[in-house]
Each structure stands twice: as C-alpha cells, then as structure tokens.
Amino acid sequence: MDSWMNTPVPSNGTQGPKRRKLQPGSLDEKFKRLTIVNGKLGLHLAARSRLHDACNVRVITLGDKHPVSIAMTEAGRAYFLRKKTVQPQQLGSPHLYVWASAILAVRKLQDIPEPDLQLLNAHVAAYDAPGSLSHLVNVCTISKAWAPETVRLEFAVAEELQLVLQAVLKALANTGGDLKAGPPPKSKHERAVAKLLLELGEGPEIAGE
C-alpha cells in the first residue's frame, strides 16, 4: 500500500486545474435552467421521500368520529394547552402523547383478542413517562384525509414496538380503518412543480420521477 500511495504524481507543467470557461448565455436563461433543474431535483427527492415513507411509515385512514381518532386529536390539543404553562423540554414531544392516547383508546375497543390486549396492557405498564418512549416511537400523527370526515393516522416505531403497532393496526382495521399500502400520492406542491415544468416545455418523461 505504501508503494502506490507514495508514488510521485507526474507533473504536466501546470500550476493547478484549469479554470472552466464561463458558458455563454444570458442571466435570465441561466436562471431559467436553474429553476428547471431545481424543479426536477425537487420532484426526484419528493418521489424518493414517498418511497421511503412507504417502507417505514404505516398509514391507516379512519373516520374522524372513531374513538381512537377523537382520543388522538384531543391529546394533541391538550398538549399545546399544557405547553402554555409547562416548559416544552419538560413535556417532551407531542407525538408521544398522541401515541399514548392511541394505545389507551385502542384498549377500550370491542373484541380485542386477548393476546393483543395483554400486549397493549404490558406496553402501558412498561412506559410510564414520555421520555421512555422517545427512542422507540418515531412518528405518530393524525391529520385530515382527502375523503370527507376521515383522518389519516401515521405510525413509525422501532423494532421493539412492532408487535404493539401490529396490534393497534389490527384493532383499527377491524373497527372500520383502511390500512394503506405502497407510496402515498403526490402532494399538491409536487403536482404544482410538475405542471410548471410542463409549461416550461419539459415533458413528463423528463420532469417526472
């Protein structure tokens, strides 16, 4: 290794790399090209992000009047009310409270299989403070879904909690939830960028994913 690392570098008589010559063209044209390239890069990264989400985030849609939907929404509101009087670092992340509310609400649903109920009860007993879950629950959110009167729940947890999450998803699916698979649809901003690129003369085979 010493021999090929210490071999002298041949000199070509120059003092360094040649400077690249500036390409001709107006500033407006360069900004246009930069905008197009940035748009394509944004679409590429957005597509990769959606694929990443499909691999790591579990998604289920649910009626907004479902007990778990109500519990998660109320937990989020309660957190931000509490934050007015308590330092955020003492509270921890809001998604941990939303997760806890989901677990507690799922336990109260009808017809939960006994093994799943025992698993949920053990989880509740094992983690008695938000900080104890901070390294295990990565994502737990609730937001409005596209369909009216429907919410979108997203979960991502560490391997240690996968069985707990499976019990939650099973219970939600058995009580009206629709478990999603595959990459999520394009966002409105992603669609807007694709449309603008088309208006700039960039075909979908170039501007797309």
pLDDT digits (tens, 9 = 90+) for 159-201: 999 999 999 999 999 999 999 987 777 888 888 988 888 888 8
Taking only the tens place, the pLDDT of each residue in 32-70 is 888 888 888 888 888 887 777 767 899 999 999 999 999
Higher pLDDT, 154 or 202: 154
Contact 111, 174 (CB under 8 A): yes
User: What are the backbone angles phi and psi of residue 4, rounded to the nearest 5°?
Assistant: -85, -15
Report DSSP state, residue 175. T
pLDDT at 171: 98
Predicted TM-score of the model (pTM): 0.71
In which order are the strands placed within the sheet that holds 150-157? 137-144, 150-157, 58-63, 178-179
Per-residue confidence (pLDDT) for residue 160, from 0 to 100:
96
CB 161 within 8 A of CB 136: yes
CA distance 16 to 164: 60
**What was the pLDDT predicted at 21?**
58
Q: What is the mean pLDDT of the chain?
A: 85
